[in-house]
Structure 1
Amino acid sequence: MTVYVDDMRASYGRMVMCHMIADTDAELHAMADRIGVARRWWQAPPKHDSHYDIALSKRAIAVAAGAIEITWRQCGAMAMRRRITGELGPHADAMDWQQKWYAERRAASLQGSIE
């Protein structure tokens, strides 16, 4: 099971929240069940990329249960990659993938405007 929790810190009432994402929705829901997060908190497509916003106390439990800690920037890059390719891909190269994707788009746009 590959589940990720980012280091975002967003206030929600008296709680501080972060994101929890996973390679598959089945893995995401299994971890949510394991750490005691109700399914009603799932933020689902098409309105959102599939994830849960979880309190930091739940984050600690998720990490203890095997979730991988990532940055909020990695989380955003991984979500973008899933929207484009259908997969989160490895967290280690998420930022490089995103930069390459933007560079390729810029190059294609410039090439198109020259012709």
Structure 2
Amino acid sequence: MTVYVDDMYRTAMGRFRHMKMSHMIADSTDELLAMADQIGLKRNWLQKASTADEHFDIGMGLRAKAVAAGAFKITMRDLATKSRARRSPP
């Protein structure tokens, strides 16, 4: 399973009220949903489903769970690169 969590929490954009947030993406929807199930995220919290920008917004506790379950830490720039690559035809 290839799942990634970014470091958006380090920026002002990654702060929502008192929470620090990250994006969680994966190489496929199935992988993303499997990780969501594993760490206790509700599937209906999936944002931009079936698009190149499909992701979950997760707080620090869920980010830590995802990393412990095998998610890779990446930068926001890396995430943007992966999303752009998904939009480009093979």
Q: Which bin holds the TM-score, normalised by the shorter protein?
A: 0.7 to 0.9
CA-to-aligned-CA distance 1:40-91 (integer Å, 9 cap, x gap): 21012467711111111100000000001111100011101111136xxxxx
Uncovered stretches (5+) of structure 1, i.e. residues with no partner: 87-115
TM-score normalised per structure 1: 0.69
Look up the match of 1:5.
Answer: 5
> What is the aligned-residue identity percentage?
50
Identify which of 40, 43, 48 aligns with 2:44. 40
User: Contact (CA 8 Å) 2:52, 2:84: kept in 1 or not?
Assistant: no
Q: What SS does the corresponding residue of 2:24 show, helix, strand or coil?
A: strand
Uncovered stretches (5+) of structure 2, i.e. residues with no partner: none
Q: Which has the higher contact order (CA 8 A, sep 6+)?
A: 2
More helix by share: 1
TM-score normalised per structure 2: 0.86
Larger of the two Rg values belongs to structure: 1
1:22 paired with 2:9, answer no
